Structure 1
């Protein structure tokens, strides 16, 4: 038996299987405290309920923080991307809880010369990062898939919905595709405003170049969107006009109100 001890000790230090990082804590919190509406296109967070489970949220964030850089780097690309999206979304919820209920927007957490997205409070790989570091450096800076913009959630009404489950490497392509179609089919954010004009979320203005980076052969935002004509409710001829740059594009104002389920209920009442 004693001969096995060195082997067992070495096995204890082996990295977790690349597909095996457990995001179930985050999925559980979302299942408990997310309100999904409008046929799955919109979600609001029950921040009051989430605050009651803040210990569980912190435990999940601690698990993320405990992953060594070397182990993370050895994971497949889809597993790494899912990890980072979940980290961003969970950290954003945690940031909101630092001031909830005394805020109406995530932008209330900033001040004159400092935005909330630049606050270094997310522990990953032995360092402290900001939400901007994660989104623009780790995600946009390393992954070319523009559908990430429909997965990261900035705690705002105008943002693509926070998904009702954690992202997982094995399911990531399907999840991102579903998020894309959900967002594009939401007429409060993307719609025809006339026979020859497409009104889009400001996300497409801010990150237009990400949709023209050659991903799946798309060299323009118009080309990317034309592949989703069904979600945008475009006719074949309208999709052709969009692809050929014969359709005007305008951008809608962004709604920065907090995606709070209680606030949404009060508005309905």
Structure 2
């Protein structure tokens, strides 16, 4: 009997568990994110958001299949970034959080261990660098993880899910590369690719895209329509110029109509 019980327990550990529900987060994103801009106050007021974070704390990512686990970690990163902004009541830039002043050195926003997943506390940096990048080797996460800055890819108005993750990541790549000319664009006549610092300057992210400007070009070319831009990127014969990264908060500001209108 004991052997049978141990076998059943081992089998349950080896079998991927059903994907957790991200429906509460999905509903909040649909309601409070427009064009990548976030209504942080609405998230702060929503009891459903607190409940969703509590559900992440109880979910063991190791019990999930690879796609479901990656979707969970991406959602956790984005949800806890929103929570970080609200916990510090920051409304200008994430870089103001835990900021160093002169000789007083602080640890910055990405080192604060506020994200609880599967019963363990993580910093946003640990989720991205130690878990997502190391365990999943998926370059498209750079189009999905949103650090609350205008320079980031837009926050998606839906939660990620394992069943649709591949299509969602491809769509995020196209949005970031084709719909944000201040961040990424290709000038065929000048043979210049204007690219976000995400591809060539931040940390060692360039390694995720092959390690060189030429491999970055070939990687992102697949998201461009057939034509001169894609051909140039695939050729590797272009110059990269890095666009300016906007660290302003990706906040949905209240609209005030012009006086007298």
**If the length of structure 1 is used for normalisation, what is the TM-score?**
0.81
Which residue among 223, 236, 239 is the counterpart of 1:245?
Answer: 236
Aligned length: 240
Matches for 1:1-269 after TM superposition, within 5 Å: 18-36=17-35, 43-53=36-46, 55-68=47-60, 72-100=61-89, 102-112=90-100, 113=105, 114-185=107-178, 186-193=180-187, 195-205=190-200, 206=202, 207-212=205-210, 220-230=215-225, 235-236=227-228, 238-262=229-253, 265=255
Taking a change above 3 Å as real, the CA distance of residues 19 and 126 of structure 1, as seen in their structure-2 partners, is closer
Shift of 1:19: 4.0
Task: Answer yes or no: is the 8 Å Cα contact 1:119–1:131 preserved in 2.
Answer: yes
Task: Answer yes or no: is the 8 Å Cα contact 1:66–1:124 preserved in 2.
Answer: yes
Runs of 4+ with >4 A deviation: 14-17, 265-269
List runs of 5+ in structure 2 lacking aligned partners.
none
Task: Answer yes or no: is the 8 Å Cα contact 2:85–2:94 preserved in 1.
Answer: yes
Taking a change above 3 Å as real, the CA distance of residues 182 and 266 of structure 1, as seen in their structure-2 partners, is farther
Shift of 1:266: 6.3
Distance 1:17 1:28 in 2: 26
Shift of 1:143: 1.0
Q: Supply the RMSD in Å over aligned alpha carbons.
A: 2.7
Distance 1:79 1:97 in 2: 27
Distance 2:163 2:18 in 1: 7
Task: Answer yes or no: is the 8 Å Cα contact 2:174–2:224 preserved in 1.
Answer: no
Task: Answer yes or no: is the 8 Å Cα contact 1:19–1:170 preserved in 2.
Answer: no
Taking a change above 3 Å as real, the CA distance of residues 268 and 251 of structure 1, as seen in their structure-2 partners, is farther
Residue-by-residue CA offset, 1:109-144 (whole Å, 9 max, x unaligned): 122131100111111232211000001111011111
